[in-house]
Amino acid sequence: MPKLQVALYWAASCGGCEIATLAIGEKILKLAEAADIVFWPVAIDTKYAEEEKRPDKSIDVCLFNGAIRNSENEHMAKLLRRKSKILIAYGSCATEGCIPGLANFFNRNLIFENVYQDTPSTDNKGKIVPQTKVTVPEGELDLPEFYDTVKTLAQTVDVDYFVPGCPPEERTTWLVLEALIEGKLPPKGTVITHPAPAVCNDCPRVKHEKKVKAFLRPYEIMPEPDKCLLEQGLLCYGVATRGGCGAPCPQANMPCTGCYGPVEGVRDQGSHFLTALASIIDSNDPDEIEKILDGIVDPAGTFYRYSLPDAMINRARIKP
C-alpha cells in the first residue's frame, strides 16, 4: 500500500502547532510507517516554486496551521488547497483566527503607526513603514501585502476538517492522524476531537450552584484545588468551550481560556460566555453589578481571545 503524502504549513501563528505535531511521542514511528512528509518548510528544504509544479491533488492531506494575515498566507492557502485532496485547519489560528485575530480590533494603518512610529523604543524619524515593493541596487524586492483583516482558513478556501486547540492536545492530534492512517475520517466539515459537550465535562473539579460576587485574575487568588474555578470568581471559559482536550488547564489550577472553540451548536463563543457570566452574578443592585463587571479587565480580549475573526462581528468598524 503506498504511503500517504503529507504536507504541513505554518501561516500566521506562533509556531506552537508545529511543535504540537511532534508531541505524539513514540506514535510518530507509526506515522512514519504510513506517511511521507513531502512539504514542511519549517523542517525540510522545500521551495514554493517546486510546489507550484506539483500535480494537483497529489498531496493526500495538508495540516495547515495559522490564520490568513497577509498575501503570502492567502497564496499558500489557495496553492495547498489545489494540491491537496484533504485540507485540515489545524489549531485555533487556522480554525478561528486566534491571537493574531485580535488585530481585527484595529486596521493596518493603526497597527503600522503603533509598531513603526509610536512605541517608545522606535527611532523612525522618516516614518518608514513596510512596502510591498522596493528597489535596491540588486533589483526589486517584494514583501507580502499586510491585510487590514485577519481571516480564518475557511474564510479563504474550502476546508475539509477542523482540529481545535492552541495548540491541539496530543490526544487530539493523534485522533486525526489515526483517522487518516486507518482511512476512517468522519463526514466533511467535522471538528475532530474527543466527544465531550464542554470542557466542564472533562474537568474533575466539584461544581455547585454558581454565584459570584467578584471576578478575579489568576494572580489575585490561590484557588481551592477541588472546587470549580468559575465558582471561585476566576474567568474559566470551560462552560462555553468545546470539550475533548481533557481539561489540562483547570487541573493545573489555571482557568480554561477557550482555545477549543465554541460548544456544539453555538455560533458565537464570546457572546455565549458573556451570557453564562451574566447568569451567575450574585446581585440585583445595578451599582454592585457594575463593580463586579469591572473585574473583567479586558472584556474584548477575554471574550474573543481565540474567535474574533470567526465571530458574528468579526472586526471593529473603524472610520477612515
Q: Write down the domain spans for the chain.
A: 4-99+150-182, 107-147, 199-310
Half-sphere exposure of 197 (CA within 13 A, CB side): 3
> And the C-alpha cell for 5?
503524502
User: So what's the pLDDT on residue 180?
Assistant: 94
User: So what's the pLDDT on residue 54?
Assistant: 95
User: So what's the pLDDT on residue 2?
Assistant: 87
Positive/negative CA dihedral, 253, 258, 264, 265: positive
Question: Cell 513603526 identifies what position?
Answer: 116
**What are the per-10-residue average pLDDT scores of the chain (320 residues)?**
93 94 91 94 90 96 97 98 98 97 95 93 91 92 94 98 96 95 95 94 91 92 94 95 96 95 94 93 92 92 95 87
Cα–Cα distance measured from residue 17 to residue 278, given in angstroms and rounded to the nearest whole number: 33
Cα–Cα distance measured from residue 306 to residue 119, given in angstroms and rounded to the nearest whole number: 25
Cα–Cα distance measured from residue 313 to residue 21, given in angstroms and rounded to the nearest whole number: 32
Residues sharing a CB contact under 8 Å with residue 214, sequence separation 6 or more, in sequence order: 233, 292, 295
> And the C-alpha cell for 203?
474537568
Neighbours of 175 (CB within 10 A): 17
Residues 196/243, Cβ–Cβ less than 8 Å: yes
- What CATH code would you report for 4-99+150-182? 3.40.50.700
User: So what's the pLDDT on residue 188?
Assistant: 97
User: So what's the pLDDT on residue 209?
Assistant: 81
